[in-house]
Structure 1
Amino acid sequence: MEPVRIDGSQGEGGGQILRTAISLAAVLGRPVEVTGIRARRENPGLRPSHLASVKVVGDLFGAEVENLRVGAEWVRFAPSRFAGGRYKIDIGTAGSIPLTLMTVIPAVSLSGNGLEIEVTGGTDVKTSPTIDYLRYVVAEAYRSAGIKFSIEVQRRGYYPKGGGVAKAVIEPCKKPAAVELLNGRAVAPRITSICSQLPKHVAERQISSALLALEKGGVKCTNYSASFETAASPGTSILVYSASDFGGPYAGGDSVGEVGKRAEQVGQEAASRYLLSTLAGATVDPFLSDMMVLPLCVAKGVSRYRTSKITEHLCTNLGVARQMTGCKYEINQVSESEHIVTIEGA
């Protein structure tokens, strides 16, 4: 079978193009060739975290993988049968555990399989959703489409050492469901703030500043928690989120601490990201918006959801999904901060 050829430099040109293509190749049982991987980025080619994602899915699906090495500008991936069982991988340093799981979870579940996987790396790192965002926002949104998974954080991992450990249990989804997420009910926000190898007041200050920012936006929050968790190196993260049992909203704003960044800034940043969706009446936040593409592009029927902002990540992911599956989509702008995404699954 001829591979589907995907240009990895299209659109936003990031590693998500590769991850989406690999996940869908596993689900569809179709070979794929991705070229121009991260061609316009400062460090072009395959990075260790991307390599880990491809390796995991390749191992799980008995794939024949060509040119899988750091710096590779192209990769060819031809899946076979799902191996199953349990799986462990160490990404190395602070490679993103959430981004690795977001490649594995849909690939495994949407192919009708289950898996227990343990991943070592970074749980809360820059340019990646935090592990709590996956646990509390993505998990609920995916559940509405029929994908069920749970994540247990055994140890936090921050830049630069990483060393975090997360265990995920993924359940099979034989028939992904189309979703209608246009009119979610009002759901009060929650806040979870984490710090490791730092005084607990850092996590508490993050919460205080997030609460203040929410209040200025006209949103009250009475459900919040500060936790001190083990890690190999110091670090913090915070998540402000609303997630309903069904029908939306599924909205979150997270932020990760770093050297020289005050706790107050971390909390305010997460709250601002959350408010971007909530004040616009969105049912799906802009970050989740592109993550929903993968399950919905293979769901039977037409899905619709309301989001506050159209990102280049979303547009690129939609384009890759169409190339891989033949799905159809459209984006309608209702107002400056209101957009409706429609996906007709293949």
Structure 2
Amino acid sequence: MAAHRQNTLKYEGCNFLRQRLILATLSGKSVKITKIRDKDDDPGLKDFEASLIRLLDKLTNGSRIEVNETGTSLLYQPGLLIGGTVEHECSLERGLGYYLEVLVCLAPFTKNSLKIILRGVTNCKEDPSVDIIRTVTIPLMTKFGISEGLELKVTRRGSKPNGGGEVIFKCPVRRKLLPLQFVKPGKIKRIRGVAYAMRVSPAMANRIVDSTRSILNQFVPDIYIYTDHMKGAQSGKSPGFGLSLVAETTEGGFLSAEMSSNQPGEQPSIPEDIGRQTAQLLLEEVYRGGCVDSRHQSLALLFMALGQSDVSKLLTGPLSPYTIQFLRHLRDFFQLMFKIEVQKQEDEEQIGAEKVLLTCIGVGFSNLSKTIL
């Protein structure tokens, strides 16, 4: 216990809770978080955060989790990542993407290959949809050597407030990750997308597609947006519709954007607006540029940091605030720092935001069915 106390990292506040829990689990270091919403009318951990902690408990063996009576203090001493077959009912406050983003960070390092069934909200405004995880996150994982047996299957869609969605995520175990050299973003060669509709008219999805193409056809000829209209039990328990878009580059990069409709009781969403706004968000990601989009910067940096003791390089657009904090946490948990260089634009005709080149030497993290270095 004394050794644990000396090895415990301490933080305040509820921000970046997932980052701290992920890195604590991988590094084997305990983390204590205090003053969680202590000044709010409703202090302490929210239901979706408690659900995430229960999920981590299912994935590990021997974890010690202590939460005080008000929920404003959390002590997490991680156990061994076991994996295996797991089922979990997620909180309806957040989308399944909130939980899947944690799982993709941990799943390659479990003792047994992971098969997990998650139930809840598949598409919402706050978190990445299961479509983005399937079309962007998984291809990024394959660049680090995590490929065979990696799969995300959407069996039922579910929108807020009542959910009803279900996905099955499978991930193989990797002993070591491959280093990454990804410094050429390339040019956009095609755009793919999914317009989905749940418990509303199928015409909603077609209206989204038409308004999206009215903008994107001006830039790229190769566009295909699939319409997914789930019926019956597969459509969940609440009405909803939305769009996820992915731009693929000539060098194998993926940039994404998405939007979903408002919940019942809020201002009704118009399909044409969702199509146009998602197209504009995608163009903004293209302008930011880089080899990964802003949402996937932290995942790429995590796998680079955990890779073999070799040099990894990644070119990104401007770093998001979430990524900047993630770099600080990597230093805390793994004593690893990235070399960060802002790339000046050599060609005056080149448009887009300034690019950032991140370089590191991996810590040589090896999955020996345990989470210590």
- What TM-score does the superposition give when structure 1 sets the normalisation length? 0.88
Equivalent in the alignment of 2:202: 200
Q: Confirm or deny: 8 A CA contact 2:287 2:353 kept in the other structure.
A: no
Equivalent in the alignment of 1:309: 318
Q: Secondary structure of the residue that 2:256 maps to in structure 1?
A: strand
Cα shift at 1:305 = 2.3
Q: What do you get for the CA RMSD once the two structures are aligned?
A: 2.5
Q: Secondary structure of the residue that 2:81 maps to in structure 1?
A: coil
Alignment partner of 1:66 is 2:82 = no
Residues of 2 paired with 1:41 and 1:269: CA distance? 33
Equivalent in the alignment of 2:369: none
Alignment partner of 1:339 is 2:355 = yes
Instruction: Evaluate the alpha carbon distance shift between residue 84 and residue 286 of structure 1 in structure 2; reply closer, same or farther with a 3 A threshold.
Output: closer
Cα shift at 1:100 = 0.7
Q: What aligned pairs does 1:116-135 form with structure 2 within 5 A after superposition? A: 116-135=115-134
Name the amino acid aligned to 1:307. T
Q: Secondary structure of the residue that 1:159 maps to in structure 2?
A: coil
Equivalent in the alignment of 1:260: 268
Equivalent in the alignment of 1:89: 88
Instruction: Evaluate the alpha carbon distance shift between residue 42 and residue 285 of structure 1 in structure 2; reply closer, same or farther with a 3 A threshold.
Output: farther
Name the amino acid aligned to 2:353. S
Unaligned runs of 5+ in 2: 345-351, 364-373
Q: Secondary structure of the residue that 1:169 maps to in structure 2?
A: strand
Instruction: Evaluate the alpha carbon distance shift between residue 6 and residue 248 of structure 1 in structure 2; reply closer, same or farther with a 3 A threshold.
Output: farther
Instruction: State which drifts further: 116-125 or 183-192.
Output: 183-192
Name the amino acid aligned to 2:9. R
Instruction: Evaluate the alpha carbon distance shift between residue 237 and residue 108 of structure 1 in structure 2; reply closer, same or farther with a 3 A threshold.
Output: same
Residues of 1 paired with 2:317 and 2:278: CA distance? 16
Equivalent in the alignment of 2:154: 153
Instruction: Evaluate the alpha carbon distance shift between residue 208 and residue 55 of structure 1 in structure 2; reply closer, same or farther with a 3 A threshold.
Output: same
Deviations 1:186-235 (A, max 9, x none): 4311111111111111111111222222234x233432211101121101
Alignment partner of 1:277 is 2:285 = yes
Cα shift at 1:273 = 2.1
Identity of aligned residues (%): 19
Cα shift at 1:134 = 0.3
Alignment partner of 1:107 is 2:128 = no
Q: Secondary structure of the residue that 2:160 maps to in structure 1?
A: coil
Name the amino acid aligned to 1:35. T
Name the amino acid aligned to 2:108. S
Q: What aligned pairs does 1:289-308 form with structure 2 within 5 A after superposition? A: 289-300=297-308, 301-308=310-317
Equivalent in the alignment of 1:98: 97
Name the amino acid aligned to 1:272. Q
Equivalent in the alignment of 1:236: 241
Name the amino acid aligned to 1:170. C
Q: Confirm or deny: 8 A CA contact 1:240 1:252 kept in the other structure.
A: yes
Instruction: Evaluate the alpha carbon distance shift between residue 247 and residue 297 of structure 1 in structure 2; reply closer, same or farther with a 3 A threshold.
Output: farther
Q: Aligned residues, how many?
A: 338
Deviations 1:37-56 (A, max 9, x none): 46788966422222222211
Q: Confirm or deny: 8 A CA contact 1:239 1:255 kept in the other structure.
A: yes
Q: Secondary structure of the residue that 1:292 maps to in structure 2?
A: helix
Deviations 1:275-310 (A, max 9, x none): 123245421111111232322221223333233332
Cα shift at 1:57 = 1.4
Instruction: Evaluate the alpha carbon distance shift between residue 34 and residue 174 of structure 1 in structure 2; reply closer, same or farther with a 3 A threshold.
Output: farther
Equivalent in the alignment of 1:249: 253
Residues of 1 paired with 2:331 and 2:251: CA distance? 25
Q: Secondary structure of the residue that 1:85 maps to in structure 2?
A: strand
Residues of 2 paired with 1:219 and 1:39: CA distance? 50
Q: What aligned pairs does 1:9-48 form with structure 2 within 5 A after superposition? A: 9=13, 14=15, 17-37=16-36, 45-48=44-47
Q: Confirm or deny: 8 A CA contact 1:209 1:268 kept in the other structure.
A: yes
Instruction: State which drifts further: 280-289 or 191-200.
Output: 280-289
Instruction: State which drifts further: 291-300 or 251-260.
Output: 291-300
Q: Confirm or deny: 8 A CA contact 2:212 2:276 kept in the other structure.
A: yes
Q: Confirm or deny: 8 A CA contact 2:45 2:71 kept in the other structure.
A: yes
